[in-house]
Amino acid sequence: MSDNFKSIQQVQPPKGTRDFLPNAMILRRNIIEKIRKCFELYGFSEIDSPVFEYFELLSRKCGEEIEKEIYTFKDKADRKLGLRFEFTSPLGRYYASNNSKLTKPFKRYIIGKVYRYENTQNGRYREFYQADADIVGVYSMFAELELMDLAVFTLEKLGLNNYEIHLNNRKILDGIIESAGIPADKKEAALRILDKLSKIGENKTVKEFIENGLTEENYKSFINLVNGSNFAEEINAGNYDDGDKENNPNIIFLESLKEKLKNNAQSLEGINELIDIFKNSNKFKIGKYLKFDPLLVRGLGYYTGPIFEIKSLDVNIGSFAAGGRYDNLLELYGTRPEGACGLSFGVDRIIDIINAKTPGYINELPSSTKVFVAYLEPDEKIIDYAFDVAKELRANGIACEINLNEKLNISKQLKYADSRNISYAVVIGSNELFENKIKLKDMKKAEEFFVSIKEAVEILK
């Protein structure tokens, strides 16, 4: 390897991480702030917690595959720590530590970076942003419905409307696993493999079953139990509305599944929970998005009830939001069990979808800087006045940038402002100084106004 190649490699970010240019950060911040606003409109309060936790606490009930993906390290006291790989496990520790100070139901949200050591591919990174909303202290399925309603509301604000919300229930899956003759000690392995079915295909799924001490017959028994005649066609036809409970194919199929699993009380409980969600979805006007998916697994081991994933119909990128119920997770951290469920947005995948749907959109976004202050002459009094104008604009909450190169001519100054997508320019010369006014230029409309600073503030606001 040449020294030149090594030097190029050393200045690149680590695999699975990325640098973000200013325009990319504008889009990222816009999306995060819209999500934050939506969370708060639904009554969720923001919290924060450490980016690393004790590994033993972080990895409780997360599942063997996820445990392998946790970035771990030892501190100087030889304690094993791990970077957070999502926000739900840290919530268990947070709640156990602070529950006496929290009002129930506890509705929290958190937005930040998480880390997973996994294979990088389309939509998958090793450092990425998640935005989570969780409800602790509610056992009713209204909690799931509110979270899915929040998801629909938020996606509408983000301009995304072509997607499906896939639903299943871990209680149903546990019952089907049992009915398929899969031993209890192989349940987590089976679910972990089945979670990859859509990615790796049937042949590789069967191969992994056999490699993990299961059989092809176990796989076929599972698939036979979850397959329904013409179910996919009925769901995709969509010939029903939110209030049409009788003809909703999701409910019809779940009712037929009851007969197959009538001897498994756990599965029947899970089926009734989903029927409850589908029947009440009309209250939230979200039924058209919901689709029962008997093969939806969700790889995290702490789920105990309904689970869901949101998938784009425009871009093949996997799920970009997901969630579920985890009633027993809090008990793992030494506190009494509470009804709990959550929703998580993959911010980076949402951005990938937006960029894929509207190529070049990111380059058209206006700068967070609203005004660029330029001056015509390198005269000290003119420059002093220009800095006074900038200070006044900032004092009124208007983001502005000022020319810092005394010798730069006006055309280059305005060209710079235009390249940054700055919406307005203030131009100051001797006439503006004498009149104690400014020339305000709309960079898009090519309109100019000769106004006082006070008048400019009103226009800009």
Of 344, 318, 345, 383, the closest CA to residue 122 belongs to: 318
For domain 366-460, is the CATH number 3.40.50.800?
yes
> What is the distance between the alpha carbons of residues 169 and 277, in angstroms, rounded to a whole number?
11
DSSP string, 364-380: HSPPS--EEEEESS--H
Whole-number pLDDT of residue 438 = 97
The residues with which 319 forms a beta bridge, in sequence order, are 311
Whole-number pLDDT of residue 150 = 98
- Give the tokens for residue 180: 């398929």
Whole-number pLDDT of residue 113 = 97
Q: Does 366-460 match 1-162+314-362 at the fold level?
A: no
Sign of CA dihedral 292, 274, 348, 31: positive
The residues, ordered by sequence, that sit 6+ positions from 149 with a Cβ below 8 Å of its Cβ are 284, 286
Whole-structure pTM value: 0.88
375 close to 361: Cβ distance less than 8 angstroms: no
Domains of the chain by residue range: 1-162+314-362, 173-291, 366-460
Q: Which amino acid is at 283?
A: K
Whole-number pLDDT of residue 237 = 45
| Ramachandran category for residue 315: left, alpha or beta (phi over 0 → left; psi -120 to 50 → alpha) | beta
Q: What is the mean pLDDT of each run of 10 residues along the chain (461 residues)?
A: 60 91 93 98 97 91 77 95 94 94 96 92 87 97 98 97 96 88 86 83 90 90 72 46 68 89 91 96 94 86 93 92 95 91 97 91 89 94 96 97 88 93 96 96 93 95 87
The residues with which 343 forms a beta bridge, in sequence order, are 133, 323
The residues with which 114 forms a beta bridge, in sequence order, are 128
The residues, ordered by sequence, that sit 6+ positions from 321 with a Cβ below 8 Å of its Cβ are 151, 155, 309, 310, 343, 344, 345, 346, 350
Using DSSP's 3-state secondary structure scheme, residue 397 falls into: coil
> What is the distance between the alpha carbons of residues 28 and 3, in angstroms, rounded to a whole number?
36
Answer CATH for 1-162+314-362 from 3.30.930.10, 3.40.50.170, 3.40.50.150, 3.40.50.2000: 3.30.930.10
Whole-number pLDDT of residue 153 = 98
Of 194, 169, 150, the closest CA to residue 324 belongs to: 169
Distance of CA 408 to CAs 178, 196, 226, 437, Å?
76, 58, 70, 22
Each as own residue / partner, the long-range contacts of residues 44-49 (CB below 8 Å, 24 or more positions apart, any chain) are 44/107, 44/108, 44/109, 44/133, 45/107, 45/108, 45/109, 46/108, 46/109, 46/110, 46/111, 47/94, 47/108, 47/109, 47/110, 48/110, 48/112, 49/84, 49/90, 49/91, 49/93, 49/94, 49/110
> What is the distance between the alpha carbons of residues 326 and 294, in angstroms, rounded to a whole number?
19
Whole-number pLDDT of residue 246 = 63
What is the residue whose two structure tokens read 């969630």? 323
> What is the distance between the alpha carbons of residues 322 and 300, in angstroms, rounded to a whole number?
11
248 close to 212: Cβ distance less than 8 angstroms: no
The residues, ordered by sequence, that sit 6+ positions from 352 with a Cβ below 8 Å of its Cβ are 122, 123, 315, 317
